[in-house]
Structure 1
């Protein structure tokens, strides 16, 4: 595996949550203003990616190569022993999507106090071996009702400032894709020893649902840390959105979130298809802005992600969508730099104290 759980340090019980407060205002304007060097990086990346998009057969071959090298279900048994342990099987939404032992998220405090549970939650640390100022992620499944408390324990323990939810609770076929672990508009919701409160709720023009939440242990005397919850319900399971606007708005909203030490939680239903696509888009754009042209090798990036969680980016359609979203965002960044007409399209501001 590329990234182990030891690379991520959870918060200690003595840490001050007030130091991780996340203040978010939807009414002010956030523009990503790039430097002259970043303009050069974006221009070069855009030229190369546009050339690639003129050769769709090459993109098809790339994804075929990814699929040919994917980890097969029988190969997972020896690498996912904790996930497949009898005490943990019921915690998996899908029996064929579970975390590897080497980079699974481990909960110090867990609702399941049985020693053999090993602090298990169906969640994986996801990153590339990039510079320190690249976001890290926790890729996880849509929580099940009996894992809600463990999910929020993970958010507190690893000081996660943002949760990105890329699914509806129930899809158009009336299939449950995720449990309702987050709606708390009518007052505090309690999950065991944890309480969550929604401070405000807003829906954007691109159908993103934004919640500013306070999450804390019920018995804690410390100020509750704030968590930004972003739901994009219009991204269909196994498919892609009709355009890239909302996904790129998410990137813009998360651009100023400090990347260390806290990972961004991303989930859909299984935590691999839509989740893998977003992580690829976000990671690639960040690396391009740092001048890392190896980021243009999406096959390599997704191969790394798949070594950390099985099946990241599930379909050819999702793979092509990654290319399109990256190209659209590079065009937008260049337009901003040149004083184009896109200035101020995205209204948000993110600040840490």
Structure 2
């Protein structure tokens, strides 16, 4: 795995040192050392998944089953009343991708003071079993210019240590997919009452752009929140990357982030396709490393995610990509374990 090549570096604030996983130059952040038990879990999971990959028609059938159970427009209207309120319609990038009332993120401090706004942001808490052991997520849309402040308010409020951005700002067809809410290399950027500063920036050989950011309210005595921002611009909308290296590099780096700090923010453009695929890959590998073989049932995992945000994992290609990335990472983990074992002989 490539360690990447730095294009800009500046030291983090001495008064608020960045956590150790912000060390972009450390090879250790790209290495996961598994135990003998975890080696057995990975080996068994890999055997079963490889058998599944020999039957691609079965994987296609699984995705067809998922699509047959998609939410209907009438149910969406009943379950997403705040998102579809006239006060909030303009805050949605896509009118058919909105959060459910039951698990939407509610902003405590919101610049929209109309009672009907109800602290709205197009973002969903994605919770999974064993929250003390596996990462929890916030799946959200690519921020719009008039929701930048709301986005950062959410990050501060929920103590989010990481943002995973799986889209370009503008795609190859010149369509805007996300607003520029994060680039602050030329000094602090202000979004209403919030200031964002870039402390480090690095581009890796896998086309990831890593940023160490500090985010805070402009008038406060509290120390800023350190946020690790990943941008992977090479994952096309409704498509998949050419390989799994960059996605697995994100997972490797996030593996070292304690799960109890706060939810990981994941977004693409709509916050369901690429976002759902990454959450599925991340969650499945984490659970396999815990010995939870029920993680191999991707239909169950994605159904759970879709019960919390509409349409997570949009295409059959993305569904196959989940399998491929999981298998590639298991192979990597097993190879690394064998290499360590052989070096001790």
Q: Which residue of 1 aligns with 2:23?
A: 25
Cα pair distance change 1:149/1:131, threshold 3 Å: closer
Q: What per-residue deviation string (whole Å, max 9, x for no partner) do you get for residues 10-42 of structure 1?
A: xxxxxxx96995761111112100000000000
1:74-125, Cα deviation, whole Å (9 max, x unpaired): 2200100000001000000000000000000000001111111100000001
Checking the alignment, whether the CA contact within 8 Å between 2:149 and 2:194 is kept in structure 1 is yes
* Residue correspondence of structure 1 range 166-315 to structure 2 within 5 A: 166-315=166-315
Q: Say if 1:188 and 1:196, in contact at 8 Å, map to a contact too.
A: yes
CA separation of 1:131 and 1:81: change in aligned 2, threshold 3 A? closer
Contact kept, 8 Å, 1:18 with 1:222, in 2: the verdict is: no
Partner residue in 2 for 1:97: 97
- Distance, in Å, in 2 between the alignment partners of 1:219 and 1:271 is 31
SS at match of 2:175: coil
The answer (yes or no) to whether the contact 2:111–2:150 under 8 Å persists in 1 is yes
The CA distance in 1 between the partners of 2:233 and 2:340, in whole Å, is: 30
What residue number does 1:350 align with? none
TM-score computed with the length of structure 1 as normaliser: 0.90
Moved over 6 A (4+): none
Deviation of 1:127 (Å): 2.3
In the TM superposition, 1:7-22 aligns within 5 A as: none
Determine if contact 2:91/2:144 at 8 Å carries over to the other structure: yes
SS at match of 2:143: coil
Contact 2:163 2:227 in 1 (8 A): yes
The secondary structure found in structure 2 opposite 1:308 is coil
Query: Per-residue deviation at 1:221?
Result: 1.7
**1:131, CA displacement in angstroms?**
5.2
Give the unaligned 5+ runs of structure 2.
Answer: 1-14
- The aligned runs of 1:20-169 (5 Å cut-off) are 24-30=22-28, 31-130=31-130, 132-169=132-169
Compare 213-222 and 232-241 and name the one that shifted more: 213-222
Rounded to whole Å, the distance in 1 between the matches of 2:25 and 2:17 is: 24
* Number of matched pairs: 326
TM-score normalized with structure 2 length = 0.92
Cα distance, 1:318–1:210 mapped onto 2, change above 3 Å: same
Q: Pick closer, same or farther for the CA change 1:20–1:294 going to 2, 3 Å.
A: farther
Question: Aligned partners of 1:98 and 1:164: how far apart in 2?
Answer: 19
CA contact (8 A) 1:20 1:159 kept: no
Q: Distance in 2 between matches of 1:130 and 1:54?
A: 31
Distance 1:26 1:262 in 2: 21
The 1:340/1:21 distance shift into structure 2, 3 A limit, reads closer
Q: CA deviation at 1:126?
A: 0.7
Structure 1: segments with no counterpart, 5+ residues: 1-16, 344-353
Question: Is this contact kept in 2: 1:135–1:259, CA < 8 A?
Answer: yes
